[in-house]
Amino acid sequence: MKTTSYFPSKDTVLNGWFQSLDTNIDTYAADLGLSPETVALLKNAATSGMTALDESIAAKLNAASKVAAKNTIIAASESIIRKEVTIIKKLAGYTDAIGAALGIVPLGSPFDPNGYQAEILGAANTAPGGEVTLRFSRAYGNIDGVNVYYRLQGQADFQFIIFHKRSPFVDETPLGQPGVPEVREYRIRATLDDSEIGLFSDPFVLTVA
């Protein structure tokens, strides 16, 4: 029969466990006949564990913040460029050759609904509590929209969230445990004429707080 370990495996539980050990070991040290050195050793171990957990959470939140800032800048750049490109393509001097050199024309190959792989352009934790804003490609208008799926890292199956026509999509799914950051994986699949087509996107992984 497998014995369950008293040492928690989940970070969300482990922090409180360290705190309990650090607080209570002094109370029972005399009853147990523990030396001051042993008590200090246990308390230092517990403190080190709590510090490492706190630093890990802070690092995840900082990474999510940097990704969100990057995505905000890219979204702003995209908006400016798309607006100006629309104007450029109407200018008298514009040619397809110039458009190709600037990279502002779609690829020449025809759209293949069976081989098309949906593409997540970016995702960011845009508000506390679990809100995520996800940007995706519309395949130059060749698809009706995308079906959005997500799962918590470590889970086996993705859950369907919603069909969405236009980018971006804002997912307001709350955190599983309020105030506790979690790692999510998102993926999408294109739709056309009310049916999914092509391939799922590569998963997009981010920490949500």
Question: How confident is the model over 152-197, as pLDDT tens digits?
Answer: 998 999 999 999 999 999 999 999 999 999 999 999 999 999 999 9
The CATH architecture of the domain made up of 109-208 is Sandwich (2.60)
**Is 72 within 8 Å of 135 (Cβ atoms)?**
no
Q: Write down the residue that tokens 């999914």 correspond to.
A: 196
pLDDT given at position 103: 84
Domain extents in the chain: 1-105, 109-208
Taking each helix axis as running N to C, give the angle between helix 36-88 and helix 11-32, from 0 to 180 degrees, rounded to the nearest 10: 170
Q: pLDDT (tens digit, 9 = 90+) per residue, 72-87?
A: 998 899 899 989 988 9
1 has pLDDT over 80: no
Q: pLDDT (tens digit, 9 = 90+) per residue, 84-142?
A: 988 988 888 888 778 878 888 776 667 899 999 999 999 999 999 999 999 999 887 88
Q: Write down the residue that tokens 């050199």 correspond to.
A: 101
Does the model's pTM come out above 0.85?
Answer: no
